[in-house]
Amino acid sequence: MKIFDKNDSSVAQLIESPNQWAIKLWRDGVANNWEPQTIDMSGDIEQWRDKDAISDDEKLLVKRTLGLFAAGESLVSNSVATVERKFITDGACRQYMGRKDYEETLHNFTVSICCEAYNLDVSEVAEAYRNIPTIKKKEQFLSKSLDSFGLDFNIETKEGKQQFLRNLITFYLVCEGTWFFSNFALILSLGRQKKLMGLCDQIQYTMRDETGHVEFGIGVVNTAKKDYPTIWTEKFKSEILEILKEGVDIELEYAEEILPNGILGVNSSMLSQYIKFLADSRLEAIGLDTIYNQKENPFPWLSEAQDTAANTAFFERRNKDYQSASALDDDF
């Protein structure tokens, strides 16, 4: 049984799937169940209204991040609906994609809740992908990949399978695995200063979801390499590296825009190193050579916030609200 193939509306049974790693991700996602509307945003509202509590640069960071997520999460959902669910035929993977689709609705709703809490101009956030050049480039990068799937697309050919994997790499390694995580790090850095803790709680849960999403994408790519070894050519590997380079270049430009003066002990140069670290780690996960030789996370405290469950106060706050919160005691 292969992980993806021609869409012939056949039965895709979970019990027949050899890909139990996808079921583990599904179980982890269920254990991380949460609802954005239950997170207390009252402290955020007070801080946002206090001109001395949150600086203009910090507010810019929040608005740009929400604008990125508003567009990015929507396009991620489009990829799942129009491409991935159409051609991934493995039952276990389809089980996980159902969970992922639900989690994207939570992330979209988080943007809505934050816009309401901070009394933001909704059109400014919603239209960021049109009005903010760096976010517009991200939207175009993702849309270009989705638009390549026309009526003549054929998953049964070698070229079709390679195109399908290029789309997975665009969304899972670049968008969710690099762009989103660099923004998670910046928002969590606000939390280290006891600022906008409601938003940071939202991001903690979102980041756990996205960690699973990235692992899923990596799992599909690595399984496809085994199922279809002829597609993993040197030329194709070079094309993957070019996709990552283009995505990183866009994010590096975004780093300059989102951190014009540097905040919270972070400047654009430091964030650029972190972006390269993320990209290299994603490439290593699918067995490719790194591009930037950025082997160490330049922000150890960001690693602690992102890669472990160090924020115990956060989990203590949530335990009383979620029966499944005990599952959050493990590492991401």
Report pLDDT digits (tens) over 64-111.
999 999 999 999 999 999 999 999 989 999 999 999 999 999 999 999
Handedness of CA 275, 278, 283, 286 (dihedral sign): negative
Contacts of 121 (CB under 8 A, 6+ apart): none
Q: Is residue 221 part of a domain?
A: yes
Report pLDDT digits (tens) over 165-218.
999 999 999 999 999 999 998 898 899 889 999 999 999 999 999 999 999 999
Q: Is residue 13 part of a domain?
A: no
pLDDT of residue 302: 61
Buried b (16+ CB within 10 A) or exposed e, 277-309: bbbbbbbebbebebebebeebbbeebbebbeeb
Identify the bridge partners of residue 263 per DSSP, sorted by sequence position: 266
pLDDT of residue 206: 95
pLDDT of residue 330: 38
Judge whether 87 and 94 are in contact, CB under 8 Å. Answer: no
- Looking at per-residue pLDDT, the higher value among 81 and 295 belongs to 81
Report pLDDT digits (tens) over 218-272.
999 999 999 999 999 999 999 999 999 999 999 999 988 888 777 766 777 888 9
Tell me the DSSP string of 146-159.
Answer: HHT--TT--TTSHH
Total number of domains in the chain:
1
What does the mean pLDDT of the chain come to? Answer: 88
Q: Is residue 52 part of a domain?
A: yes
pLDDT of residue 259: 80
Classify residue 267 by its DSSP letter. -
pLDDT of residue 323: 38
Domain at 157, CATH number: 1.10.620.20
Nearest in space to 244 (alpha carbons), one of 295, 210, 288: 288
* Domain containing residue 112: 26-312
Distance CA 68, CA 253 (A): 14
Q: Is residue 329 part of a domain?
A: no
